[in-house]
Structure 1
Amino acid sequence: MILTDENRKEVVSTLNGLIEILEDGKLGYTNAAEHVENTAIKTDFLEYARERALFIVEIQDEINRLGKSTDTAGGGPLGALHRAWIDIKASFTSSDTESIINACITGEEAAIEKYEMALKKEELEPNQIVLITKQLSSIKATLVKIKAKKMS
């Protein structure tokens, strides 16, 4: 498929929307790590934050490959979910590990929803679908790990 300027704008908007939720996740996990007492959970949260940072770079590289800059401006129709991580920061003030884990679950569910919406975009190129699918699989795996912490 040849990418028209309109399609390119749509793809860049979609990718920028993913960057927004990844930025939120990175900040969310960094905040969560600062507020939990459990060293193992703190280490895991910092690892998830590093993973989100890596995902951001991968998507920025794709935007740059399309000839666009990665300075985010709105994130398009996916931007509405962007607030999920931001809105749950209040949970972190109590240092209540269960509340923090619940907030992380909420953030990951929002990220999964946003990624699944992105994959429905017909303008995406095969390599972009592969990248988004790979990141989505990792986010889903992280969600399973976080839910397991809640059980223990």
Structure 2
Amino acid sequence: MTADESGKSKRGEIVTALNSCIETCTDGEKGYAIAAADVRDLGLKAYFQGKAEERADFVVALQEAVAALEATPENEGSAAGALHRGLVGVRKVIEGRSDKLLVEECLRGEVAALAKYDAALGHVSENDEPTTLRALLVHQQEILGKSIAELRRRLGGMS
């Protein structure tokens, strides 16, 4: 394999990892928007709305990073995310609508998103172009970690 082929292969891995994060963040945006529409607690409603907007911003930044690599960014969520939202709907029917259920499912989604970011960071080094790419992923990953902590805190305060 030539150096040029190796570089294209590495770039392809990075694009695939970034597109996976885009799908996951799109899923998160949709999930948070649904949770905001369904939740009863006004504080949680505002929190979920803010997180939906934050995930939309994540998607835009990631799409710009993929475009900077001269590749086509994803613009939809994943089948797994759609399935998860469907299962949440089933749980709401079976268990009844509750704010606790919504927080639990948002937490589940954030934990899954964090795993995608961990995987993506495994493909991106500090030397990869654009050089801001790793910093972008780390920044978004840190925000996901804070969201997980906040959701766990809120869940702990629910009965």
Pick the TM interval, shorter chain: 0.7 to 0.9
Select which of 133, 136, 139 maps to 1:134: 139
| Structure 1 segments of 4+ aligned residues over 6 angstroms from their partners | none
The within-5 A match list for 1:17-32 is: 17-32=20-35
Distance 1:32 1:60 in 2: 24
Tell me if 1:45 matches 2:48: yes
Distance 2:86 2:115 in 1: 16
Q: So what's the TM-score if we normalise by structure 2?
A: 0.81
Q: Which residue of 2 aligns with 1:13?
A: 16
Q: Is the 8 A contact 1:12 1:63 kept in 2?
A: yes
Aligned length: 148
Deviates more, 1:111-120 or 1:90-99: 90-99
Change (3 A) 1:89 1:44: same
Distance 1:16 1:38 in 2: 34
Give the secondary structure class of the aligned counterpart of 1:37. coil
Q: Is the 8 A contact 1:33 1:43 kept in 2?
A: yes
Structure 1: runs of 5 or more not aligned: none
Q: Is the 8 A contact 1:32 1:92 kept in 2?
A: no
Select which of 52, 59, 78 maps to 2:62: 59
Instruction: Give the number of the structure whose alpha-carbon radius of gyration is greater.
Output: 2
Q: Is the 8 A contact 1:84 1:107 kept in 2?
A: no
Structure 2: runs of 5 or more not aligned: none
Cα offset, 1:63, TM superposition = 0.7
Q: Could you list the per-position Cα deviations for residues 63-100 of structure 1 after superposition, in whole angstroms to 9, with x for gaps in the alignment?
A: 11111121459x9xxx7975674354324553211111
Give the secondary structure class of the aligned counterpart of 1:70. coil
Q: So what's the TM-score if we normalise by structure 1?
A: 0.84
Q: Which residue of 1 aligns with 2:36?
A: 33
Q: Is the 8 A contact 1:88 1:103 kept in 2?
A: no
Deviates more, 1:121-130 or 1:80-89: 80-89
Tell me if 1:69 matches 2:79: no
Q: Is the 8 A contact 1:26 1:52 kept in 2?
A: yes
Query: Pairwise CA RMSD of aligned residues?
Result: 2.7
Select which of 105, 114, 119 maps to 2:107: 105
